[in-house]
Structure 1
Amino acid sequence: MKIAETCIRRPVLASMMILALVVFGLVSYRAIGVDLFPDVDIPVVTVTVPFPGADPETVETEVTDRVEEAVNTISGIKMLRSESIEGLSQVFIEFELEVDVDVASQDVRDKVAAIRGELPPDVDPPIVEKFDIDSAPILAIVLSGPVSIRELSEFADNQLKPRIENVDGVGNVRLVGKREREIRVWMRADRLRALGLTAEDVIEALDTENIEMPGGRVETRDREVTVKTKGKVERVEQFGDIIVTRRSGAPIRVRDLAWIEDGMEDLRSLARLDGTQAVSILVRRQSGTNMLRVAQAVKSRIDEVRPMLPGSYRLAIAQDLSVFVEQSIDEAEGELLRGGVLAVLVILFFLRSLRGAFVAAMTIPTTIIATYSFMLGMGFSVNMLTMLALTISVGMIVDDSIVVLENSYRHMEEGLPRLQAAIRGISEIGFAVIATSLAIGAVFVPVAFMDGIVGQFFYEFGLTVAFAVVVSTFIALTLSPMLCSRVLKIHGRHGRVFQAVERGLEFIERVYGWTLRTALRHRFAVVVAALVAFVSSLAITGFLGREFMPNQDESQFNIQVETPIGTSIHATSEVLREIEQRVRQLPGVLDTFTTIGAGVEERVNVATVLTRLVPGPERRQSQAEIMQSTRDVLVDLRHLRISVEVIPRVAGGGFRVAPLQYSIQGPDLDQLAEYSERFMAEMARLPGIVDVNSTYDAGKPEANVVIDREKASDLGVHVKDIGRAVHALIGGLRATVFEQGGETYDVRLRYAEPDRAHSGKVLRVPVRTASGALVDLDNLVHIEPGTGPVQISREDRSRQVLVLANLESFKPLNEAMQDLAAIETRLGLPPGVRTRFVGDAEMMEESFANINFSLLLAVILIYMVLAAQFESLVHPFTIMLSLPLSVVGALGLLALTGRSLNIFSMIGMIMLMGLVTKNAILLIDYTNLLRGRGMSRNEAVLRAGPVRLRPILMTAFSTIAGMLPVAIGLGSGAETRAPMGTAIVGGMLTSTVLTLVVVPVVYTIMDDLGLFAHRWLFGEKPDTALEADASAALTWENGDRESSPDPRVEAANVCICFPGAGPAELEHTAYDVAGQVADGDRHVESTAANEPP
């Protein structure tokens, strides 16, 4: 090949080209981002509409339904989900992947803005935002101390939060467990009634007497003065001095009707670290930033703040996602290094030459470093998938150099000078190297462009591998032959180790030669055995569990706790103390971090206990085992809903963490609730399915204030006035604000506790009639106790109840899905009710379908590449026979190691399609080369097999060695990497062994079929290059004369001309041809001459 020969003759040029790639790669490595997984752009837009004080059913009818109706007309919507909870509506619009989420979010904003006037006047402005996969908090910082929660809140809000927000890369900082300062005006209903006033009168007075207004400008000839009216209250006690009205000339002040408290807002959230109350600071990063750098910068800022803390304050890191990410990336880099070392050792074993190992080893760091420049240019990050791509590439990128190296080395052993051996070696297999690289590229391009979430997930993976293969091919055609021509050296004398290994390899070659001759005699039996092995391997799939993605041991997990509906935050807190105490006693538990009411809905009966474990190497039990132990110690708390869950991969967007999610949809919520209860009762009996729960809660106590509209109308009292009076009585109304020290605090008007607590007084608060008189609320309304749903979930505008469950480690997802399908069959479905799996189950089915399509597309592309390479429509089928042979080992080793079929192991099997064809290409390419030189087909097959045995074994075992650290699966994040490594190692083992036997046999069968078809179509024997009767007359196997065209021919003279060849090359070639023709007990003599006889 011209490029290779040029590099051989101009080594400095070749070195500088490769050095340029290395320099660009090193520069890129410093600038590239780091994350756990690739930045997946999930096209989900969320519309959040706060509706303070509204119950879920009102939120659904007044807000959610109208928002859904408005956005439903936008094109490209895949799914519409919503949740209506007390005081909040959330609508999640999921678009098709090809939709531009920025354009879609603007469309949603326009649609929501268009219906703003149709929404109730009390709703807060709708919030429209894109879903961001990076929105999960990367750090949870806890501030604690023996002071009041108000002091902790103010220090966290005023001192810590601004400092953290200023850190480069920080996107959002949120405080959990804090209580804001609030000025509270506690009204007394009896005083209002006695003085003929209402809550609205007090609100109006507070609002109008606490105001600052501009007065304009006073201009003179020389200067200008701004005038403003200073009417703001400067001290809290001054609110009591505000005059509400006058009676007989005497002022009635606020303090005559109420008492003023400089207090705190109602307690609606709580944070606690190891039982100590605290304020939690949740830190989110900006989208696309380097997680490790942002987390380290925040932690550095915390270290700067610590010396400034008051003596009793304590700052601690309760959660740090960057630790697991850093450990996982470090472990992946370690696997990359160990795989590279093992691959080089394999090469050293086969070549027994440090120089040869050096030539091959140079490919690994050069290719890996150069690939970083591509990753940076494409906007990729260093993450689990790209590091896995580089690790898997180790075996593949060294394969091409191995083939070049071995071919050059063989020619040097046969007597050619080093320079000529390098030129001849690359010229023989150059196009085979390109073909194998194209075959691998044909596999990974479909992987990179798969549909669905899995396609985005593996986009960076597929392109990273493909580019690494391209770079390795370039190096194999430039640097490797140049180094071979300058570095390789054949030693005349070898040591005992070399000779022992050589004898072992020669023995393997003889055994393989005998096996190949036997297989050619019994071709039908070989084909049948291969088919049986393949079919048997398919049966193994029935014993393999299937799941979307394996769970990882992150040394932390969540305990989701829900106390009975209506439980106060204080009662919930006491229950959580008992849970914390039990969990902290488990072996391997480091600490617990509890939050109550941390979600957007601020439900005070819902809590999360983050349980951190000691690092994996320091504990005996796995995370899954400790999670099961947690369930066991909490099993007696049957009055609580408890779910022990892994840390969610994404936050928000309507996604849930439970692996088993079953949607029950229909128009009647009561019917759905009843059916879901029966369904969950059946699920709870199934082994391996735990933490069964649903999104429906019907027990929330309600006090429905029913208005007597006729009486209210007669007295001239508006419904709005009644509603505001009830709101002031129960929830409190924001009257004005108080400003101090640059901060703004709410001033909230609320009836005092005695007027709210006693059932006989609860509605004895006055409202004003149209005539100006006062009337108590209990004359216009009455209370009806009841219960209502805590939340109403909908999907595609249909109500749904979502049944959720976790799985124990021995329960695969596909088996759980089969169990639920059996329950549905047994119970039957009520009329109008439909069901389907969502969450991991839905993504697993969608992903497997996309992967299977990519597998089919990869096979088609491989065939096209091979057909172009061999200029044949038949022989590609011979090479591609190695594809199903790899499935035997892949499935078998997955079953032996107890690993599942998931997106990682499935991608590993797609990778095998490219890897295993390399061996078959080397074998068939050399067979065709020998036939082109004049050998008969069977002679070429028997010669090509032993000659190509060593490079095939080297490439196969170097790939296996490179993947072995991944397949063993040790260290952080190994649970996701190991299934892919296992599939590749198992597939390479079986495909290598079977390819060496089955592919040559099928090659002869396909050749016979081609010969038969040619004779049948054209009635004559096809011409074969240099296939003379004299050469074919030499029998190719002992005792087997049937394949020779004329078994009566006992001897023949064969003359092969090589124009322009020198004496040394002629002698070498004559010896080589004699070795190819001789077999068994025949005697073959060879001579070389400068002129033909």
Structure 2
Amino acid sequence: MSAAPPPAGPPPEIRYLFIRRPVLAGVISIVITLLGGFAIRLLPLSRYPQITPPAVQVAAAYPGATAQDVADAVAAPIEEQLSGLQGLLYYSSANASDGTMGLAISFDVTRSQDLAAVDVQNAVQVAVPQLPDAVRQNGVVILKANTDILAVVALSSSDPRYDASYLTNYLKLFVEDELKRVPGIGNALTFGGLQFSMLLQLDPARMAKLGVTVGDVATAVREQNATNPAGRIGREPAPPGTELTIPVTTLGRLQTPDQFNDIVVRAKADGSLLRVRDIGRAVLGAQSYDFAGRLNGKPTAFMLLYLRPGANAIAVRNAVQRRLDELSRGFPPGISAVIPFDTTPFVTASIKEVVFTLLEAMALVSLVVFVFLQSWRATLIPMLAVPVSVIGTFLGLLVIGFSINVLTLFALVLAIGIVVDDAIVVIENVERIMATEDVPARIAADRAIRQVAGALIAIVLSLVAVFVPVAFTGGVTGEMFKQFAITIVIAVVLSGLVALTLTPALCALLLKEAVEAHTGGFFGAFNRWFARVTGGYVGAVDRVLGRPRAWLGAVAVLVILAGVLWRRVPTAFIPSEDKGYFAMALQLPDAASLQRTQAVIERVEGFLRQEPAIRNIVALAGFDLLSRASQPNSATIFVNVRPWEERGPGQSIDAITGRINGRLFGMRDAMGFAFNLPEIPGLGATSGVEAQLQNRGGLPVQDFAREVQAFVQAANQLPAVLGVNANFRANVPQLYVDVDRAAAKARGVKLGDVFGTLQALMSTLYVNDFNLYGRTYRVQIEAQAPYRQTPEDLGQLYVRGSNDAMMPISALTRTQFKSGPTVLTRFNGFTSALITGVPRPGHSSGEMMNQLDGLIRSRFAAEGLGISYSGQSYQERASSGAAGLVFALGLVIVFLVLAAQYESWSLPFAVLFGVPFGVLGAFLGIWLRGQPSDIYFQVGLITVVGLAAKNAILIVEFATELRSQGVPIRQAAVQAARQRLRPILMTSFAFILGVSPLVVAGGAGAASRHSIGTTVFSGMLIATTVGIFFIPLFFTLIRRLAERGRAETPSAVEGRP
């Protein structure tokens, strides 16, 4: 009993409708193309879609506190409330010795950032009562983190009158809000702490002589720098005849230094007054001087611009430049604004490269089709059909809310080779029927579409079945898969629609009577060669069918080899690209001042300018990018290089950073290294491995620091590790002040006065606010600079004891130097050290992480150390099992679709058994090229699965049809292999050559193109040159088993009693 034939496709009246009415088919295709072209103008343009996990930041300040104090009193109470938040991935805090705390909380990519911020807000409110009073007074700020940096705006001046403080405030007052209003800007943030502040710089010696304390000054400021409403004269209810209502005003908040100098601190009965000017001076200064910015060696104010989700990065960047040009016309003479650091050139260049690859792919596909079809008329048909599917895909992207990015464009590059297949299958069959049956093109088109419609539908459904499950995976990897997979699905569905409507209509319209095969010239030689290839292929297939056991053994060997490669190929998350910019981290010896840091930056800028490829140098003294904390002995430098086309050999980012690191390693008074930034903004600080070494055993800070250094030394000896660094420093000199609490109480001194005086005069004390230029700024108390330089200066700080007697703090304290951290970092509630590093060439980040895990287990777990991963490394670990799951799910769905298509549970195996050849080729290609299994390899592998199944479908479909006509199984398999060889080779080599530009790509984004290009190129090459010899064997064996089972079933039933 033979199986029912597969579906023949659309009903005859629909199938013939478009052949009879080609204009209708053309109109439908033109409308699709026009709408797709219109969608291109509306779609946002970016390097990547919105795949960065949403993050929320919490900032607080505890002036005068040490890093340990901030960690214990501020970070820990807040972190305790975070566990259990919906979608929480991890959180980390940086607690600095300047009293600041920055807490970054990362959520799953599917979590709404708005809802996550609300959750964090609620959690922080629970912790606020546990925070110190000074922290509550300064406020706890909760922000939705923007991670997609668009550009850095710099304001500099050639006039020495305009210092960094003036430039920072000018930028914040007159530029920041204007740029925030540019459509597409998510946020604009002026960098540093140089905002205006009214500084009451007190003289502790004068205060001691006059019997004044910090508390007296703060009380006077709060009382006299305040808004005091006084009401209205004549307000209702008023006596009859009241004609006027006049507001009553008083002096409210003060504005000028003179007004603050006149604040009365104390008044005596004799009428004498003690004012602020008598014990110090009020000056309009900056809130903090712990940061300094430089652009190409000049003092500069910087502002970070962030892109709004869904905005077109290129258009927004251009709009910002236009607005800056307009604002610059009103700047004071000598002040200019530039954009020294810009991420959009990489976006522009990488997308241009992919678009160019897209055009190259179309040209190469056209060449392959022309060589096989040997007719410009026949070649024109797929070249008209392909743009409809490709351009129409943009309409689908607009409808579902996607953007134009490298993932969707990569999908379209691969889609060219896929969508042309459907048209080729139709054209090749039409020409074969015209040649063998001697019928006109219109009749041949009808017969051809009737024969191949079922195969076309099966191909479309199987490809959709491969890619649709990908869209349901989670995390960052799932979002990237989704962009790629849905784009392919849209293109494939449109391709199937075009193949069933436009392509047969064009065949009937353009193809003429069958011509004799070329016998001379290039085409004659090609035809003779192809005839020999066909004969050799058919003979080889016949021999394979003659010895099934031996060849099944060979297949088993190949499958085992694919499994071995699957396990041996190292893993990674995403390839590191030459983005046209990089960063540097500098760290001076412990306790080095900001002035020393700036001096080191000047030297580094000197040898950076020796690199001809470097364009701009943005230096931030006092900021540590890796820990996201302010440290006077740290600096971060961002470097922009020239465009890719202007750089010569040896001027890639890797080459430049290699030379710079060589110079940095030779510095004696500072340590530093240059590194590539993450490929996806917001996923960590570097593009390498980012680990968090956690103190889970509660070791003292100094002991933990020693373990961290031991771990770093051991990690640098691992085979997969090129270099590892740790940012944890616990030996920074600190002056410990031990307050004799009993003595203080005995002398009537309040402990709060002691600590408050230390905080105010050794750091700053935030009192209240004042208004200037329509903005609100802080009023702060601090000691004059000469009184906070040495430990002996503590002897000049006084507090009030019993009977109003002034007492030096030195009489109540003992001081000694100790060591401790300037920044204490915590990760998921444990003290931690950030470990950053890069794998050795020939090894991957996955290998490096596995070896770090092994090192912890073997040597450091007993000491209470644990390791976790953050940023890009966290996402790599989280996605480690996603590829296998997606691969397996795709195969299951393909099987079910084919089972429904063929109404058979066994026949789909004949198709799926062709997939391992493509998988083997994909792994073999990246293994030979030394590439890891990254996310681009994974999406390429899914593509190979679908295309390998497509090749098998073409043979199995026709073999099944022949078998249903009574042809013996072996003969049907051989005949189907002969008949479908030409379209298989034509479509496969069209795809292979179409993706070949990805394999040899250069310029921006080349690494990602190499990864996906090598995967699909090598996978399809093996699937085509090796797999097609075994598909007839699989069909024969499975069909025989199926028919034998059906033959035995009736007799078994009849044999029952």
TM norm structure 1:
0.88
CA-to-partner distance for each residue in 1:344-385, whole Å, 9 max, x for gaps? 221111101111111111222111111111111111111111
CA-to-partner distance for each residue in 1:114-155, whole Å, 9 max, x for gaps? 332222111132233344443x34334352424233343343
Q: Give the counterpart of 1:860 among 885, 892, 895.
A: 892
User: For residue 129 of structure 1, what is the aligned residue in structure 2?
Assistant: 143
User: For residue 457 of structure 2, what is the aligned residue in structure 1?
Assistant: 434
Code of the aligned partner of 1:571: R
CA-to-partner distance for each residue in 1:661-689, whole Å, 9 max, x for gaps? 25344132434333221111122345663
CA-to-partner distance for each residue in 1:615-638, whole Å, 9 max, x for gaps? 223221232122222211221225
Q: 1:514 to 1:438 in 2, by over 3 A?
A: same
Q: 1:680 to 1:322 in 2, by over 3 A?
A: same
Q: Is the 8 A contact 2:727 2:835 kept in 1?
A: yes
CA-to-partner distance for each residue in 1:1004-1053, whole Å, 9 max, x for gaps? 2223333444555556999xxxxxxxxxxxxxxxxxxxxxxxxxxxxxxx
The 3-state SS of whatever aligns with 1:894 is helix
2:28 pairs with 1:13:
no
Q: Is the 8 A contact 1:177 1:278 kept in 2?
A: no
Structure-1 separation of matches of 2:726 and 2:454: 60
Code of the aligned partner of 1:143: S
Code of the aligned partner of 1:925: E
The 3-state SS of whatever aligns with 1:229 is coil
Q: Is the 8 A contact 2:96 2:631 kept in 1?
A: no
User: For residue 190 of structure 1, what is the aligned residue in structure 2?
Assistant: 205
> Which is further off, 391-400 or 501-510?
501-510
User: For residue 631 of structure 2, what is the aligned residue in structure 1?
Assistant: 603
CA-to-partner distance for each residue in 1:742-795, whole Å, 9 max, x for gaps? 355544332223332354342332222354332222233332322222333334
Code of the aligned partner of 1:473: G
User: For residue 905 of structure 2, what is the aligned residue in structure 1?
Assistant: 873
Structure-2 separation of matches of 1:756 and 1:595: 25
Structure-1 separation of matches of 2:838 and 2:543: 54
Q: Give the counterpart of 1:620 among 643, 649, 654.
A: 649
> Which is further off, 192-201 or 838-847?
838-847
Structure-2 separation of matches of 1:657 and 1:335: 26
User: For residue 363 of structure 1, what is the aligned residue in structure 2?
Assistant: 385
2:298 pairs with 1:276:
yes
**Any residues of structure 2 matched to 1:352-751 within 5 Å, and which?**
352-414=374-436, 415-490=438-513, 492=515, 496-541=521-566, 544-598=569-623, 601-617=629-645, 618-621=647-650, 622-637=652-667, 640-649=670-679, 657-661=687-691, 663-670=693-700, 671-686=703-718, 689-735=721-767, 737-751=769-783
Q: 1:47, CA displacement in angstroms?
A: 3.1
Structure-2 separation of matches of 1:1017 and 1:39: 56
2:225 pairs with 1:215:
no
The 3-state SS of whatever aligns with 1:54 is coil
The 3-state SS of whatever aligns with 2:630 is coil
> Which is further off, 502-511 or 333-342?
502-511
User: For residue 764 of structure 1, what is the aligned residue in structure 2?
Assistant: 796
Q: Give the counterpart of 1:59 among 65, 70, 81.
A: 70
The 3-state SS of whatever aligns with 2:861 is coil
Structure-1 separation of matches of 2:596 and 2:423: 69
CA-to-partner distance for each residue in 1:859-907, whole Å, 9 max, x for gaps? 1111111212222222211111110011222122223333221111122
Q: Is the 8 A contact 1:385 1:461 kept in 2?
A: yes
Structure-2 separation of matches of 1:369 and 1:16: 15
Code of the aligned partner of 1:319: F
User: For residue 255 of structure 1, what is the aligned residue in structure 2?
Assistant: 277
User: For residue 833 of structure 1, what is the aligned residue in structure 2?
Assistant: 865
Q: 1:190, CA displacement in angstroms?
A: 2.7
Q: 1:271, CA displacement in angstroms?
A: 1.6
Structure-1 separation of matches of 2:308 and 2:368: 45
Code of the aligned partner of 2:955: L
The 3-state SS of whatever aligns with 2:966 is coil
Structure-1 separation of matches of 2:454 and 2:447: 13
User: For residue 922 of structure 1, what is the aligned residue in structure 2?
Assistant: 954
Code of the aligned partner of 1:224: T
Q: 1:586, CA displacement in angstroms?
A: 3.4
> Which is further off, 901-910 or 495-504?
495-504
Larger Rg: 1
Structure-1 separation of matches of 2:840 and 2:615: 22
| Alignment length (residue pairs) | 1021
Q: 1:957 to 1:573 in 2, by over 3 A?
A: same
Code of the aligned partner of 2:185: V
**Any residues of structure 2 matched to 1:644-1043 within 5 Å, and which?**
644-649=674-679, 657-661=687-691, 663-670=693-700, 671-686=703-718, 689-735=721-767, 737-769=769-801, 771-821=803-853, 823-824=855-856, 827-1014=859-1046, 1017-1018=1049-1050
Q: Give the counterpart of 2:320 among 298, 312, 320.
A: 298
> Which is further off, 809-818 or 443-452?
809-818
Code of the aligned partner of 2:140: P
Q: 1:550, CA displacement in angstroms?
A: 0.5
Q: 1:268 to 1:682 in 2, by over 3 A?
A: same
Q: 1:139 to 1:477 in 2, by over 3 A?
A: farther
Code of the aligned partner of 1:187: L
> Which is further off, 704-713 or 810-819?
810-819
Structure-2 separation of matches of 1:450 and 1:232: 57
Code of the aligned partner of 1:89: M
CA-to-partner distance for each residue in 1:967-1010, whole Å, 9 max, x for gaps? 22223112112211211111111111223211112222223333
Q: 1:255 to 1:102 in 2, by over 3 A?
A: closer
Q: Is the 8 A contact 1:42 1:131 kept in 2?
A: no
2:258 pairs with 1:237:
yes
User: For residue 220 of structure 2, what is the aligned residue in structure 1?
Assistant: 205
CA-to-partner distance for each residue in 1:643-666, whole Å, 9 max, x for gaps? 321123456687665425253441
CA-to-partner distance for each residue in 1:81-138, whole Å, 9 max, x for gaps? 444333233444444566555434323322322332222111132233344443x343
Structure-2 separation of matches of 1:594 and 1:95: 31
User: For residue 143 of structure 1, what is the aligned residue in structure 2?
Assistant: 156
Structure-2 separation of matches of 1:304 and 1:278: 20
Q: 1:736, CA displacement in angstroms?
A: 5.0
Structure-2 separation of matches of 1:104 and 1:277: 38
Structure-2 separation of matches of 1:385 and 1:653: 18
> Which is further off, 254-263 or 861-870?
254-263
Code of the aligned partner of 1:193: A
Q: Give the counterpart of 1:319 among 324, 330, 341.
A: 341
User: For residue 120 of structure 1, what is the aligned residue in structure 2?
Assistant: 132
Q: Return 5+ residue gaps in structure 1 as ranges.
A: 1023-1093
CA-to-partner distance for each residue in 1:933-978, whole Å, 9 max, x for gaps? 2322222222221211111111111111221122222231121122
Structure-1 separation of matches of 2:1005 and 2:684: 26
> Which is further off, 147-156 or 271-280?
147-156
Q: 1:923, CA displacement in angstroms?
A: 0.6
CA-to-partner distance for each residue in 1:417-440, whole Å, 9 max, x for gaps? 111101110000101101111111
Structure-2 separation of matches of 1:388 and 1:693: 35
Q: Is the 8 A contact 1:1014 1:1021 kept in 2?
A: no
Structure-2 separation of matches of 1:491 and 1:427: 20
Q: Is the 8 A contact 2:462 2:949 kept in 1?
A: yes
Code of the aligned partner of 1:162: D
Q: 1:852, CA displacement in angstroms?
A: 0.4
CA RMSD of superposed structures (Å): 2.7
Structure-1 separation of matches of 2:802 and 2:473: 68
Structure-2 separation of matches of 1:99 and 1:282: 25
The answer to which structure, 1 or 2, has the higher relative contact order (CA under 8 A, 6+ apart) is 2
Q: Return 5+ residue gaps in structure 2 as ranges.
A: 1-9, 235-240
The 3-state SS of whatever aligns with 2:81 is helix
Q: 1:463 to 1:953 in 2, by over 3 A?
A: same
The 3-state SS of whatever aligns with 1:57 is helix
Structure-2 separation of matches of 1:970 and 1:756: 57
Structure-2 separation of matches of 1:468 and 1:613: 37
Q: 1:145 to 1:690 in 2, by over 3 A?
A: farther
